[in-house]
Structure 1
Amino acid sequence: MLDTRRGAAGAALLLLAQGTAQAGGFIEDSQGSLTLRNFYFDRDYKGESNISARREWAQGFILNLKSGFTEGPVGFGLDLQGMLGVQLDSSRDRVGTGLLPVQRGSGEAAQEYSELGITGKVRYSKTELHVGTVMPRLPILISSPARLLWQTFRGGHLRSQDIQGLSLQGGYLNRMNQRDSTDYQKITIAAPNGRFDGTAESDEFIFLGSDYALTKALTLSYYHARLDEIYQQNYLGAIHQFKLGPGEFKTDFRWFLSDEEGDGKAGSVDNQYVGVAFGYKLGGHRLTVGGALSSGDSAMPYIAGSEPHLISEYALSSEFLNADEHYWNVRYDYDFAAVGIPGLTGMLRFMRGTNVELPERLGGSGQSESERDLELSYVVQSGPLKNVALRVRNARYQNSFAANATMRDDNETRVNVDYTWKLW
């Protein structure tokens, strides 16, 4: 079993062993940054519910210190990440937003929480191995950035780009740290709406895959992942972009095949998810339409707290991933730089899922859900506030599920103000 803490410490010792004569790249190519993230989260539930709202406000600080690599054929480096979350507003009847940890016993949100991530890294040619704290962003696992602080994992992540046009990736993870936690725990499966046994744990998540640029316009992807004794998954994707008339057309295809692995400790896993989106960009306008079909005896599995790589990606209230769900969406994006306002962008999206299969206690078969998203973002372009980013999002979500389902009718608003200060 990979001991990530020893791995990171070992990498640090190897760095010291290189000596100052070879440390030029280690220091000269280093970089440091401090990100300030202010996050307001308000989910106002409608209809029958024992919780009227989840509403909190918090301030985050994310310090990233990244070294370069020591000189020589094999280079060594070390990255440090410190994260701090501070409560600005919360109450016991409004906790559970994912911004702040909830204290056992009192049921109140913590006043503050923090964590330190250490990553040792080794580079040979265009191949890098990172060991320690890692945050994968892959089709089979996307470390979630959707709250105050990032979700992180412990393990090893190998990436190689030695072959032109081909990116190879593989890794082993044995612990995860959720966005509102400071404790690393065993890896679990997401289980909203009673899909799986969310208490089932695993010490091993293994992944392997590649992205290949077949042409400048077409990229193909394949990944395999296995959460030991819980599920295994294969992913095939394709992105095709080309000029069409005065604009640009994009096709995004995503296919997942999932089944249980080993003893299947989280319950039966049997799912095939096929999704495709078509988009056309003309000037500042982009219109996207997409759809997906989920089939099999279960919903598609993914790691708890992560972001599933779906056509409905980054929906605010639901992931539209229930068993047998038929999904479609229409999305419109506009970049106001086209009319002389650089830094300002907007988005409007409508999503709907039908034919949802739930346990009888949550509504049974033939259920439906829908969500409307609005987003407006602005990055200050000049002056003393240059690069300050403001993002406002609003969602209205409705479903026909039973009142005790995980997803319930709600109106949701999120406001972010982010600024990254480059230290050097």
Structure 2
Amino acid sequence: MLHRHATLLCTALLATDTLAEPRGLIEDSQLELRNRNFYFNGDFRNGASNTQGDNAARPTVERKGYREEWAHGMMLGLTSGYTQGAVGLGLDAHAQLGLKLDSGPGRTGTLLLPVSHNRQRSAEVADDYSHVGGALKARAFASEVKWGEMRTSTPVFTTADSRLLPEMATGLYLRNDALGSLLFEGGHFTAYRDFTSSNGDGSLRTRYSDVEVRSLDFIGATYQVNGTLSVKLFHARAEDNWLQNYLNINQDIPFSPASGLNLDLHLYRSDDTGRALSGRVDNTSWSLASAWRHGAHRITLAYQQIDGDTPFDYVGGLSIDLANSVQISDFNAPGMKSRQARYDLNLAGYGIPGLSFMARYVSGSNASDAQWRPERHYAGGPLSSYGQYDGARWHELDLELRYVVQQGPARDLSVRTRVANYRGNQEAQVDLPDINEVRLIVEYPLKL
């Protein structure tokens, strides 16, 4: 059904007004080489240990109590222009390489590097891995259509870029912004490449139930009502798993050029469909964030709630536009209510342009899966322990310091330090153990 909707939308979009004539396939092309150096350390606390690599084959007392890897990634990306004429054609292509700098089979599990023979004593961390892909594209009458491998960014399907190399998805994507203030988007995706894979045709999978999804389809619109108010509506289908509807309302209230208030509401409704491979899904999840800004300062307070006997689940590494989805936890357990306090500081206001600081604290409670039954509800997966942690609660503290070089030969080079502390009660430990994380990321984009 959604395939037919996407076909009709595509036909309608191609009937809109023409964009300005492009300069040409080569003239509008951009080539960028992005280098990313990534150090990741995860220190398990209160008796927890690393279960990845060859640790899984060892007795608990012999397992490493931490994860630690260091790697370097190079990402070459080509974004072509379009051929001239009524229908412009182009190509986007990418080549990516990940290199091991320091790791070990007992210290892996950071998702920076691939591991062979995982969960065995003979586990090995690859010295390098690579991937090449691309997408054909066409542009006509204010519409753009892409087919192939690409990154995605929508509230219902987003590929993540939080490790060494970004995730990629394969399928069809279309967008139209002929009306200026109204953006239409649609997509049909059938394959996925995760962080550490060299394989571009891996299966789409649900994040928490870990079930294969043969295809994911979505259609949506973003309407900029005026200079301060925007509304998003999306509908998605994870084949034989669930149907999902999404609403976002973002209202900015300026008080002066230097201060104001922003209100941001996100709402998801998910219901099982088809063969319901993830089990029964009956979930409403929402968050509301209020951010007050004044000069260099920004203070955010957010509340998030998960209603239903299942968690808020999704396909793709970052397909969750809820306020309290943070560095380690999504705070998306069934029944969970979570609260966030966040502070951002832009030190450009104090004479240090390019330097910024962020601190946030999120606390979640009231997780409830007492009604969970294997034969009736959500099936669960390797990231799930439903039926075991009724009453779980946990909290997370995140700190981030980032500097971006503003000028000179190293312009746009960024150095970012991310620190996170996660702690939960005894019921929460069955799903995610206590951990301290440190991530150091140096990135340099070079436009060729």
TM-score normalized with structure 1 length? 0.90
> Which residue is equivalent to 2:392?
367
Distance 2:145 2:329 in 1: 35
> Which residue is equivalent to 2:318?
306
1:66 has 2:79 as partner: yes
Preserved CA contact (<8 Å) 1:134 1:157: no
Distance 2:426 2:266 in 1: 27
Match among 69, 72, 80 for residue 93 of structure 2: 80
* Large movers: runs of 4+ above 6 Å: 359-362
Identity percentage of aligned residues? 33
1:122 has 2:141 as partner: no
Query: For residue 323 of structure 1, what is the amino acid of its counterpart?
Result: P
Distance 2:278 2:397 in 1: 32
Match among 174, 178, 202 for residue 194 of structure 2: 178
TM-score normalized with structure 2 length? 0.85
> How many angstroms does 1:259 deviate by?
1.3
> Which residue is equivalent to 1:28?
27
In the TM superposition, 1:199-238 aligns within 5 A as: 200-238=211-249
Give the number of aligned pairs.
395
Preserved CA contact (<8 Å) 1:270 1:299: no
> Which residue is equivalent to 1:19?
none
Preserved CA contact (<8 Å) 1:362 1:405: no
Distance 1:337 1:179 in 2: 34
> Residues 283 and 189 (structure 1 numbering): CA distance in 2 closer, same or farther, change over 3 Å?
same
Can you list the C-alpha shifts for 1:124-178, whole angstroms capped at 9, x where unaligned? 1321001001211111112101111111000010010011200000010000110
> Residues 307 and 23 (structure 1 numbering): CA distance in 2 closer, same or farther, change over 3 Å?
closer
Query: For residue 139 of structure 1, what is the amino acid of its counterpart?
Result: P
1:95 has 2:108 as partner: yes
> How many angstroms does 1:289 deviate by?
0.3
> Which residue is equivalent to 1:242?
253
Query: For residue 148 of structure 1, what is the amino acid of its counterpart?
Result: L
Preserved CA contact (<8 Å) 2:393 2:427: no
Preserved CA contact (<8 Å) 1:80 1:117: yes
1:190 has 2:207 as partner: yes
Distance 1:61 1:288 in 2: 35
> Which residue is equivalent to 1:381?
406
| Structure 1: stretches of 5+ with no match in the other structure | 1-21
In the TM superposition, 1:345-424 aligns within 5 A as: 345-358=356-369, 363-402=388-427, 405-423=430-448
Can you list the C-alpha shifts for 1:304-355, whole angstroms capped at 9, x where unaligned? 5334211123x12111111000011000000000011000000010000000
Tell me the secondary structure at the aligned position of residue 25 of structure 1.
Answer: coil
1:329 has 2:340 as partner: yes
Preserved CA contact (<8 Å) 1:363 1:401: no
> How many angstroms does 1:213 deviate by?
0.7
Distance 2:368 2:196 in 1: 30
> How many angstroms does 1:402 deviate by?
4.3
> Which residue is equivalent to 1:13?
none
Tell me the secondary structure at the aligned position of residue 55 of structure 1.
Answer: strand
Tell me the secondary structure at the aligned position of residue 367 of structure 1.
Answer: coil
Distance 2:239 2:344 in 1: 40
> Which residue is equivalent to 1:152?
168
> Residues 403 and 275 (structure 1 numbering): CA distance in 2 closer, same or farther, change over 3 Å?
closer
Distance 2:90 2:336 in 1: 46
Distance 2:253 2:408 in 1: 37
Distance 2:140 2:22 in 1: 16
Tell me the secondary structure at the aligned position of residue 337 of structure 1.
Answer: helix
Mean Cα deviation higher: 297-306 or 146-155? 297-306
> How many angstroms does 1:118 deviate by?
1.1
State the superposition RMSD in angstroms. 1.7
Distance 1:59 1:169 in 2: 34
Can you list the C-alpha shifts for 1:250-292, whole angstroms capped at 9, x where unaligned? 0110000001121111222111011100001111000000001
Tell me the secondary structure at the aligned position of residue 348 of structure 2.
Answer: helix
